[in-house]
Amino acid sequence: MESSNDESQAHQILDHHNKTRESNLVNLVALICISFILVSYYYKSDSLMASSIIFKQLFDQASATYSYLLAEKASRQAVFIDTVYEQHKRDLSLLRELDLELLACLETHCHADHVTGAWLLKHTTDCKIMASEHSGIELLDKSLSSRSNVPFGNQALTVIETPGHTNGCISFVTNDKLMVFTGDSLLIRGCGRTDFQEGSAKQLYHSIKDDLFALPDDCIVYPAHDYSGRTASTIGEEKALNPRIGGQANENDFVGYLENMQLPHPKKLDIAVPANIKAGRPNNEQLPKQPDWGPVTISYSGVTEISPQWVASHMNKVHILDVRTTIETGEEQTRIRSAQLIPINELRDRINEIPKDKPVMTICRSGKRSVLAANILREMGWKKVANVSGGLLRWYDEGLSTIY
């Protein structure tokens, strides 16, 4: 009798194990199917976006600013996010090369570290300028608020109000929530500062935690700045890994971090904010004239600059003027081949030694005093003049040719 009971119990245990295995197998198959459906969905979404959207991430090295161009392929309608004044020629050239109709320049906030190119693009493409109704920007064609839609073709961006860095910060998210443009609110492994322009660390905490972190984990984060060469992140990464607000960080942790950073004010604060209140409109309301002899950029302050790479590849077509002092060239004898050496303090007295048959490229150690040299040459009648951006320091960094 005991043997029969043991056999019965053994059969029951075996049946239970078999049913459990079958159940686990069914669950595994279901999980695989669900995963396949999700992967297919996101792959399809990515493919649809890739097939219908033109997307360009552009960078301004001087201010470490990212600008973003989005356009629908079918209609060729486009929007530009966070443009930079000095990059106007680049941005306009890209629009023309891609045959795009720019509908709007979008500002994530009133920037303090660079001057926007919005006014310039408005007057060269007839686009609209849009930003938050709380941004303080005066020359808006349309004020944006939470849930505002910015259409371009069959696509659109939706506004999320994300104040804290400034009172008027907004982010833009695509309709499929695969991409979000966060301005200075959420950065890659960081966030915007909150110690000026009506900033609030508490407000920024809730903007990120309650609104941006509510987006899907695989939503790609595109910030307005990065200073370490990073281009993008995801909401999931920042929720887990952002050292200021990720993981288990609470409001007190976040506020305490930001309020004790003690950062210096942005170098262009006194220039950028007043200019950006006017959407980048120059005081004379004139579009900068673009020279036809080289790919120069004209800064908001009117400085005409050119890249060292272009100068190095056109040495036979330009005249290089090195304005370092005698003491400097005595201590550091490295110089650019064929460069004429005239110290900045001697320039006015020796002005007639400089030829006029070629464009003159002024240069010094850092590219600062050579701006003055370029201005002196213009005052004295030289028409084709540009300052070599970044000076000899950038020339060395880019590995361009020198002699000793």
Residue 151 Cα distances to 71, 74, 155, 156, angstroms:
10, 14, 6, 4
Helices (H), 55-208: 88-97, 118-125, 201-206
pLDDT in tens, the chain (404 residues): 445 555 555 555 556 555 555 555 545 544 444 344 344 434 444 444 557 999 999 999 989 999 999 999 999 999 999 999 999 988 998 998 899 999 999 999 999 999 999 999 999 999 999 999 999 999 999 999 999 999 999 999 999 999 999 999 999 999 999 999 999 999 999 999 999 888 999 999 999 999 999 999 999 999 999 999 999 999 999 999 999 999 999 999 999 999 999 888 887 888 999 999 999 998 878 777 777 889 888 775 668 899 999 999 999 999 999 999 999 988 888 889 899 999 999 999 999 999 999 999 999 999 989 999 999 999 999 999 999 999 999 999 999 988 76
Per-residue model confidence (pLDDT) at position 5: 53
Per-residue model confidence (pLDDT) at position 15: 60
**pTM of structure:** 0.67
Q: Is-contact 363 388, C-beta < 8 A?
A: yes
Per-residue model confidence (pLDDT) at position 40: 43
Beta strands in 162-219 (DSSP E): 170-174, 179-183, 186-187, 190-191
Q: Is-contact 80 116, C-beta < 8 A?
A: no
Per-residue model confidence (pLDDT) at position 371: 94
Tokens of 215: 């987006």
Element (H, E) at 141: none
Q: How far apart are alpha carbons 260 and 392 in whole angstroms?
A: 37
Tokens of 163: 């104040």
Per-residue model confidence (pLDDT) at position 196: 85
Per-residue model confidence (pLDDT) at position 34: 39
Per-residue model confidence (pLDDT) at position 246: 97
Phi, then psi, of 306 in degrees rounded to 5: -145, 150
Per-residue model confidence (pLDDT) at position 12: 58
Tens of pLDDT along 139-150? 999 999 999 999
Per-residue model confidence (pLDDT) at position 49: 55
Q: How far apart are alpha carbons 364 and 68 in whole angstroms?
A: 33
Domains by residue range for the chain, with CATH: 51-277 (3.60.15.10), 297-397 (3.40.250.10)
Q: Is-contact 155 52, C-beta < 8 A?
A: yes
Per-residue model confidence (pLDDT) at position 104: 98
Per-residue model confidence (pLDDT) at position 330: 87
Per-residue model confidence (pLDDT) at position 382: 94
